[in-house]
Amino acid sequence: MSILLKDVHRAFGQNHVLRGLDLEVLDGETLSIIGFSGAGKSVILKHMVGLLRPDSGDVIVDGRNVSELDVGELNELRRDIGYVFQFAALFDSMNIAENVAMGLRRMPDMYDDEIMARVSECLALVDLEGTEDRYPSELSGGMVKRAGLARAIATKPKYLLYDEPTTGLDPVTVTVIDRLIVRMKEELGVTGVVITHDIASAYRISDRIVMLHEGRIRTSGTVDVIKESRDPLLRSFLEGRPELAERAS
Ligand SMILES: Nc1ncnc2c1ncn2[C@@H]1O[C@H](COP(=O)(O)OP(=O)(O)OP(=O)(O)O)[C@@H](O)[C@H]1O
Ligand SMILES: [Mg+2]
């Protein structure tokens, strides 16, 4: 099943962030969202899990209209969605194993030793083996980030929403995370939405890339289409050249 946003508007006071956004994420694909800081990328992901609701328009995930779900139904939906928050969002009072196990604890029929085995497996996938007993404050920023990723994949969700999963990581770790995102898709059939400022990484992991600008999708396409696009605003973004954006309307 896919994710569909139809004519979504969302403002915060006078700040009209999403302005009639139409976006579809196809079943089994990895879609990357790029766009300038403050464009509303994180706001889009929060709509997909019902952390934010649209002022108007529809957000449909797995055939369910997220705005119409009650608390119970929303929790059920969230079991199918792994969310890697932009700022990790681990609980400081809990050790890494407990943080990663959070979603697993809510699953019926999972015994403690199974949970701990899965936690260790997920930590190994993000190169964090042996950190189970440590606390978030004892890890580096990049390690915390990867622990957030381990938590998101632990329940083997159908959807994975990654908000800047590689920002602030060293180049080798970026490659490890990129490969993990591709594996999630290829081995588990996960439908992925990735927000990233890392263009090289977006090219490696994406089936499609969309650029968000002024509350709507400005350009979208496969990696090849995006690479070849002559949209000056997109080029300005891809090449880090502000002067090109000035020529765009
Ligand atoms: N809960 C909120 N209350 C008020 N304003 C908000 C809220 N969440 C987001 N905004 C505003 O919405 C706009 C888009 O924010 P968002 O976090 O989606 O940007 P972004 O595209 O993810 O940027 P970045 O690349 O810097 O992470 C910003 O102007 C932000 O201040
Ligand atoms: Mg953001």
Q: Which is the CATH superfamily of the domain at 3-80+157-246?
A: P-loop containing nucleotide triphosphate hydrolases (3.40.50.300)
Residue 158 Cα distances to 27, 52, 120, 161, 191, angstroms: 10, 20, 21, 10, 6
Atom of ligand 1 nearest to the CA of 15: 29
Angle (deg, nearest 10), helices 171-188 and 141-153: 0
* Segment 183-234, tens digit of pLDDT: 889 988 999 999 999 999 999 999 999 999 999 999 999 999 999 999 999 9
Atom of ligand 1 nearest to the CA of 41: 21
Say whether pLDDT at 248 is over 90. Answer: no
Mean pLDDT score, 67-75 = 91
The DSSP letter of residue 58 is: E
What's the confidence (pLDDT) of residue 1? Answer: 61
* Protein residue whose Cα sits closest to atom 19 of ligand 1: 38
Average pLDDT, the chain: 93
* Protein residue whose Cα sits closest to atom 9 of ligand 1: 43
Mean pLDDT score, 156-179 = 91
pLDDT band at residue 249, thresholds of 50, 70 and 90? low
The DSSP letter of residue 168 is: T
Domain map (residue ranges) of the chain: 3-80+157-246
* Segment 82-94, tens digit of pLDDT: 998 887 788 999 9
Alpha-carbon 165 to chain mean position: 7
* Protein residue whose Cα sits closest to atom 14 of ligand 1: 40
Q: Which residues of 78-105 are buried (b: 16+ CB within 10 A; e: fewer)?
A: beebbbbbbebebeeeebbbbbbbebbe
pLDDT band at residue 109, thresholds of 50, 70 and 90? confident
Mean pLDDT score, 62-84 = 91
Q: Is the pTM of this model over 0.75?
A: yes
* Protein residue whose Cα sits closest to atom 17 of ligand 1: 42
* Segment 24-61, tens digit of pLDDT: 999 999 999 999 999 999 999 999 999 999 999 999 99
Helix ranges restricted to H, the chain: 41-48, 71-79, 96-105, 112-125, 141-153, 171-188, 199-205, 223-228, 232-239, 242-246
Q: Which residues of 116-153 are buried (b: 16+ CB within 10 A; e: fewer)?
A: eebbbebbebbbbeebbeebbeebeebbbbbbbbbbbb
Residue 187's contacts (CB-CB under 8 Å, 6 or more residues apart) are: none
Name the residues around ion ligand 2, CB cutoff 5 A. 42, 86
pLDDT band at residue 244, thresholds of 50, 70 and 90? confident
What's the confidence (pLDDT) of residue 115? Answer: 95
* Segment 145-154, tens digit of pLDDT: 889 999 999 9
Atom of ligand 1 nearest to the CA of 40: 18
The DSSP letter of residue 33 is: E
Residue ranges around ligand 1 (CB below 6 Å) = 12, 15, 17, 35, 37-43, 86
What would the two tokens of residue 176 be?
């490890």
What's the confidence (pLDDT) of residue 51? Answer: 93
